[in-house]
Amino acid sequence: MLSNAEHVLPTALIVDDDYVMRMLERETLAQFGFDVLEAADGEQALDMLDDPPPDLLLLDVEMPGIDGFEVCRRLRQRWDMARVPVIVVTGMDDLASINRAYESGANDFVAKPINWPILGHRARYVLRSAQAARQLSELKEKQAAIMRAIPDMIFVMDWQGTYLDYKQGYATTAFVPASELLGKNMAAILPAEVAKPIQQGIELALLRGHLQTVLYKLPMPDGSSHHYEARIAPNGVDKVVIVVRDITTQKLNEDKIRRLAYFDTLTGMPNRQSFLERLDHELARARRNHHQLALLFLDLDGFKRINDTLGHSAGDYLLQAVAERMKEKLRAGDFVARPALDESGLHVARLGGDEFTVVLPDVDETHTVSMVATRLQALLAQPFLIGTQEIVVTSSIGIALFPADGDDAATLLKHADTAMYHAKDQGRNNWQLYHQSLTTQTTARMALETDIRKGLEQGEFHLLYQPQVSAADGTIVGIEALIRWQHPQHGMVSPAQFIPVAEESGQIVPMGEWVLDTACRQIMEWQLHGVLTARVAVNVSARQLRSPHFLDRVAAIISETGIRAEQLELELTESILMDPESRQVQGLCRLRALGVHFAIDDFGTGYSSLSYIKRFPIGMLKIDQSFVRGLPNSANDTGIATAIIAMAHNLGLEVIAEGVETRQQFEFLQQAKCTKLQGYLFSRPLPPDEVEILLRRGSITPPSDHTAK
């Protein structure tokens, strides 16, 4: 069977009771390319409709039985025969018969006597036009189906914007009912700011002959707005078809995506990406206008501690509150006096964590920048209320200027960050301008970190020991272990130089463990030699104390080396006193229960809340050497030293002064009832064997003159 219908000849069914007529008709149609079937009466014709179905019927009217009209009528009742072309052949050429033929569903009419060549052409023509009609109606059905499936509104308009036709898409909200649209001009229906671009789109589409797109927004009766995209296609020379899609949801999604991509979800502030783009943009502008621009990099001080002690949700809340305050105040005119900074330029963003940036474009005086930094710090220093708790956060700010400190966003950001770290080093709660030397410092610092790591691996560190004596009689009552670094290239490096770096990089943890272990072994050794009567103090930095395994390590080292816990004293920094609720307190109490002693080093230099001291298992305060230095002449230092000593006695604590270099200092401290002393006047820090000699003697008599060594 042929699959392609076009190659099959059309089938004509000839229905006539006259055999001769059938023959003549058959000849004619065969010549015109038809496959011919024959039926001798109406009954037979109806029986033959199915196999195969004819493409054309040539139907005689007067036949015995069912006549031609009736055949035609019954044929049309079948759905599959409704469109088959039928030519009625009859001798009757009166008007009534012709009408009857058409009424019963005939397509054409041929009167006898037949003009045979014309019959052939007619048959072909009728067949063609029936095919065309069928295609047209199929097309219409298809189009109707497509229209039903399209969510968009479809308008037909003339070139002046008059509605000619309209179809409401299933997914769009009717702006105006169709009945009110047709025949009207859109200028009378749509707001001018919408009608105008559409009219322009129509004119362009007709002029250029291709599709134009117009985006617009319409207010809805319920007060909301809908977004639309109109695609205008030319339709002939003076009409257009406009397909209008409601893109409101798409727009909302785009907005959401933009928000996610450009805004920080916690604070709603612009995020790093948005900040970098904005900075690029502002830099280009500053370059064009030869203006200076400032980038402020702000980091909250001690945010990690807030997070650790109060929990992450409190931390999040604080960040939100900080962001809120910054947004509100920086935008408002009262913060930055120059009006140029209020509007467009000033840009605040959160880079992540507790890091924020502020971009100040067009600042031609550095004074403006410092003013903003100072005000920003003052603004944040006002207490925040978290739950019922008032929290004061300070911040450190680094500032980099364009063009002096960098030409592109990445460099400026890096330098502002470096300056911020410098501000942290300077004791936090301050701002610093970037300076070239900071980068050199950073590089040097990184080199130092690497060297420390190597130094630890290769045993370049050792300990010296400095005796502590009783103020009454010079008896050695303690020994402080102090770390030393013999650097292969730089010689002796001071702990004041490498301890802060080791703290920052975290290397203080393994380093501190090494110190503790070495000091404990030394204790064992002196004990074996039978000389140890004093306890040994080891410095512990804040970072070390925070490390989660610290307490376990101390306990382990004590038991591994076999010393008695009472022989060990840990010198802590004052900063631990700031947080009396911390878990560290319990840990320290556990070690204290084992016997370990605790002292607060460099006392008086921090901002410790003295009221908290009693909650810690502290046994001794060490008066910082900066207060000893001015004794006995500086009124300030004598005041502080005396106060610390009195307070220690009140609290039942021991007190030791460190950095005692002169006889006068010694005598003053003795009179002030400071019980213990440490300093060059008695002994410098010494290697273990030299300390052993002193320990054998048991006490140190300080020289009577000023030449203490």
Residue 612 touches which of ligand C2E, Mg ion, none (Cβ within 5-8 Å per kind)? none
The DSSP letter of residue 162 is B
CA–CA dist 76, 90 (Å, integer)? 19
Residue 496 touches which of Mg ion, ligand C2E, none (Cβ within 5-8 Å per kind)? ligand C2E
- Cβ neighbours around 650 below 10 Å, total: 8
Beta carbon of residue 622, minimum distance to Mg ion (angstroms, whole number): 5
Amino acid sitting at position 576 = I
Beta carbon of residue 572, minimum distance to Mg ion (angstroms, whole number): 9
CA–CA dist 324, 314 (Å, integer)? 15
- The answer to the question of residue 539 lying near Mg ion (CB under 5 A) is yes
Beta carbon of residue 479, minimum distance to Mg ion (angstroms, whole number): 11
Beta carbon of residue 588, minimum distance to ligand C2E (angstroms, whole number): 16
**CB of 601 or CB of 637, closer to Mg ion:** 601
The residue range among 68-76, 80-88, 112-120, 535-543 that interacts with Mg ion, by the rule CB under 5 A, is 535-543
Beta carbon of residue 457, minimum distance to ligand C2E (angstroms, whole number): 18
- Cβ neighbours around 191 below 10 Å, total: 12
Beta carbon of residue 589, minimum distance to Mg ion (angstroms, whole number): 22
Interface with Mg ion (CB under 5 A), residue total 5
CA–CA dist 211, 103 (Å, integer)? 47
- The answer to the question of residue 569 lying near Mg ion (CB under 5 A) is no
H-state helical runs in 652-687 = 663-671
Number of helices (H) and strands (E), helices first, in the chain?
24, 26
- The answer to the question of residue 574 lying near Mg ion (CB under 5 A) is no
**CB of 373 or CB of 576, closer to ligand C2E:** 576
CA–CA dist 627, 624 (Å, integer)? 6
Residue 494 touches which of ligand C2E, Mg ion, none (Cβ within 5-8 Å per kind)? ligand C2E
- The answer to the question of residue 661 lying near Mg ion (CB under 5 A) is no
Residue 495 touches which of Mg ion, ligand C2E, none (Cβ within 5-8 Å per kind)? ligand C2E
Residue 499 touches which of ligand C2E, Mg ion, none (Cβ within 5-8 Å per kind)? ligand C2E
Pattern 488-527, Mg ion, x by CB under 5 A: ----------------------------------------
- Which H or E element spans position 568? strand 568-572
Amino acid sitting at position 143 = Q
**CB of 101 or CB of 672, closer to ligand C2E:** 672
Three-point CA angle 689, 691, 692, nearest 5°:
60
Chain positions contacting ligand C2E, by CB under 6 A: 466, 482-483, 494-496, 499, 512, 515, 539-541, 571, 601-602, 625, 658-661, 679-680, 685
CA–CA dist 66, 46 (Å, integer)? 10
Beta carbon of residue 658, minimum distance to ligand C2E (angstroms, whole number): 6
Q: Which long-range contacts (CB under 8 A, 24 or more apart) does 20-28 make?
A: 21/60, 21/89, 24/114, 24/116, 25/58, 25/89, 25/114, 25/119, 28/116, 28/117, 28/119, 28/120
**CB of 322 or CB of 493, closer to ligand C2E:** 493
**CB of 25 or CB of 571, closer to Mg ion:** 571
Beta carbon of residue 688, minimum distance to ligand C2E (angstroms, whole number): 14
CA–CA dist 433, 428 (Å, integer)? 14
DSSP of 502-559: HHHHTTHHHHHHHHHHHHHHHHHHHHHTT---SEEEEE--HHHHHSTTHHHHHHHHHH
**CB of 167 or CB of 629, closer to ligand C2E:** 629
Pattern 588-607, Mg ion, x by CB under 5 A: -------------xx-----
Contact 360, 340 (CB under 8 A): no
Beta carbon of residue 601, minimum distance to Mg ion (angstroms, whole number): 4
- The CA-atom distances, in angstroms, between 304 and each of 273, 322, 508 are 24, 15, 18
Beta carbon of residue 484, minimum distance to ligand C2E (angstroms, whole number): 7
Beta carbon of residue 496, minimum distance to Mg ion (angstroms, whole number): 11
Contact 699, 678 (CB under 8 A): no
- Which H or E element spans position 587? helix 583-594
**CB of 32 or CB of 680, closer to ligand C2E:** 680
- The answer to the question of residue 571 lying near Mg ion (CB under 5 A) is yes
- Cβ neighbours around 612 below 10 Å, total: 15
**CB of 88 or CB of 620, closer to Mg ion:** 620
Radius of gyration of the chain (CA): 50
**CB of 34 or CB of 461, closer to ligand C2E:** 461
Nearest one of 362, 364, 368, 372 to 297, comparing CA atoms = 372
Residue 172 touches which of ligand C2E, Mg ion, none (Cβ within 5-8 Å per kind)? none
The residue range among 30-38, 169-177, 371-379, 539-547 that interacts with Mg ion, by the rule CB under 5 A, is 539-547
Residue 120 touches which of ligand C2E, Mg ion, none (Cβ within 5-8 Å per kind)? none
Among positions 253-312, residues that touch Mg ion (CB under 5 A) are none
H-state helical runs in 382-507 = 409-425, 436-457, 495-505
**CB of 270 or CB of 455, closer to ligand C2E:** 455
Beta carbon of residue 695, minimum distance to Mg ion (angstroms, whole number): 19
Residue 661 touches which of ligand C2E, Mg ion, none (Cβ within 5-8 Å per kind)? ligand C2E
Residue 108 touches which of ligand C2E, Mg ion, none (Cβ within 5-8 Å per kind)? none
Residues in the chain, how many?
709
The contact set with Mg ion (CB under 5 A) reads: 539, 571, 601-602, 658
